[in-house]
Amino acid sequence: MKENTEENLMEKIVSLCKRRGFIFSGSEIYGGLAGTYDWGHFGVALKNNIKQYWWKKFVDNRRDMYGVDAAILMNSKVWEATGHVANFADPLDGKQFNTMLKTQIGAKKEEVAVSYLRPETAQGMFVNFKNTVDAFHPKLPFGMAQIGKAFRNEIAPRDFLFRQREFEQMEIEYFVRKEDWEKYFEYWKDEMLSWMEEVGIDMNKIHELEVLGEERAHYSKRTIDFEFDYPFGKKELFGLAYRTDFDLKSHKLDYIDEPARDESHSGGEKNKKIIPHVIEPTFGIDRAVLAILLSAYHEDQKGGETRAYLKFKPSMAPVICAVSPLLKNKPELVEYANIKVFALLKAEFGRVIWDDNGNIGKRYRRQDEIGTPFCIVIDFDTLTDDTVTVRDRDTGEQERIKVESLIDYIKNKLD
Ligand code: GAP
């Protein structure tokens, strides 16, 4: 088996994403719009799987996390209070260029106000801190989580999904007592690493970078960047920051600390007004997609030809299985495949497609490129013994499985 080479890897990924309906350049038929991408059917499915898995692990499976979906447009006072208006800038021609995307709101001249499209989802959580505390009365430590779009007027958008002007983030603001920050910083570092592994990011390509003094964002006392070996270099994938009490203090928010549920916390006074400190794990979804695509892309030799395949974890794959009648001009095969297999699997898994285009070899190659872990073929034996072939994407091997056992067979392989 030929090892996947780094050579032209980005070109191969970008071209596969377009050809197979994952990701397209934004506004393409009008010459594009730099720093924007549009997502096709399989790209949306992959992105949704990533987001859903993140929400399940960090919100649904926990008792201490509260979801938020805040507006993208926020009062510009938010960004003045947090220092973004003054500090959220990159150097350009010897000056600092603020990279927040400005817009105007309101129709009548006297009502028109400047607003910013949020450059991070984080503030949507901080400004709803009081609402969340009042509604749910959470005890420290607890967190807020949000998935959503963020916008930055990047000076030089580049490297496909890596640096865009419109992108998506999944962020957590985890509120702790000041004296506990180091413990929870370590805890979230481990949680982030396990999530990366669980979604199929190649952990040999992950490196931790301790971000030093001046390199850190203005609000952070400690930051670790998780870097990934992209074909264009070792660069940031996700980040973990200790934001101290910077944001809550900026918004003049506080919290009445009551006796802790968390026995292990290291002391502190009770029933006292405090400003919690914040540990922030942040994940860029687009960079997650890019890292997963780069980790999944493989090439090998099959039947004297080079084949490209995406070795997604089955739970992340845009399509879990493809169903094919061996021959599309044999009504008895088509009918069996459609009614007894496709309808059954579609109802169970949703992410199932019908593929009867071209010969079986071509169908397998197409599904390999999409990263479909299982191809199911209905042939003449099916009509007599109710078994189908299930082909494994990675090995190319086929097994005969009883139709009645198909759902369990696939479920067992969804990690
Ligand atoms: N709330 C903290 C924050 O926004 P950040 O490091 O500026 O921190 C967080 O951004 C994550 O968002 C990054 O680790 C990266 O994954 C993603 N990200 C940032 N800028 C991006 C861009 N221009 N295009 C795509 N993803 C981006």
Mean pLDDT over 273-293 rounds to 98
* Residue recorded with tokens 């390509």: 205
Q: Is the pLDDT of residue 2 over 50?
A: no
pLDDT at 30 over 60: yes
Q: What is the per-residue pLDDT for 258?
A: 80
Structure confidence at residue 218 (pLDDT): 86
Nearest-angstrom CA–CA distance, 16 and 2: 19
Compute the average pLDDT of residues 123-129. Answer: 98
Separation CA 164–CA 154 (nearest Å) = 7
Q: Give distance in angstroms: CA of 389 to centre of ligand 1.
A: 44
Q: Cα(266)–Cα(73) distance, rounded to whole angstroms?
A: 39
Tens-digit pLDDT profile for residues 33-62: 999 999 999 999 999 999 999 999 999 999
Residue 314 has pLDDT above 50, yes or no: yes
What's the pLDDT tens digit per position in 230-258? 999 999 999 999 999 999 999 999 999 98
Report the distance separating Cα 347 and Cα 363, nearest Å: 22
Dist CA 277 CA 177 (whole Å): 6
Would you state the pLDDT for residue 270? 63
Are 209 and 224 spatial neighbours (Cβ–Cβ below 8 Å)? Answer: yes
Ligand 1 neighbours (beta carbon < 6 A): 120, 122, 152, 154, 163-164, 167, 169, 171, 236, 238-239, 280, 282, 284, 286-287
Q: For atom 3 of ligand 1, which residue has the closest CA?
A: 120
Most ligand 1 atoms within 8 A of CB, residue of 87, 120, 159 to mutate: 120
d(CA 288, CA 108): 42
C-alpha 30 to ligand 1 mean position (Å): 28
Q: What percent of the chain has pLDDT over 70?
A: 95
pLDDT above 50: residue 129: yes
Residue 299 and residue 308: Cα distance in Å, rounded? 4
Whether 5 has a pLDDT exceeding 80, the answer reads no
Is a pLDDT exceeding 90 seen at residue 274?
Answer: yes
For residues 303 and 362, is the Cβ–Cβ distance under 8 A? no
Mean pLDDT for the stretch of residues 136-148? 97
> How much distance in Å is there from the Cα of 160 to the middle of ligand 1?
14
Alpha carbon distance 215, 196 (integer Å): 24
Pocket test for ligand 1, best of 162, 287, 292 (most atoms within 8 A of CB): 287
Of 113-117, 299-303, 360-364, the range with the lowest mean pLDDT is 299-303
**Mean pLDDT score, 374-399:** 97
Give the per-residue pLDDT at 364: 96
Average model confidence (pLDDT) across the chain: 95
Q: What is the pTM of this model?
A: 0.95
pLDDT tier for residue 271 given thresholds of 50, 70 and 90: confident
Nearest CA residue ID for atom 19, ligand 1: 284
As a whole number of angstroms, the distance between CA 45 and CA 53 comes to 12
284 Cα to the center of ligand 1, angstroms: 6
- What backbone phi and psi angles, to 5 degrees, belong to 371? 90, 25
Confidence at residue 7, expressed as pLDDT on a 0 to 100 scale: 66
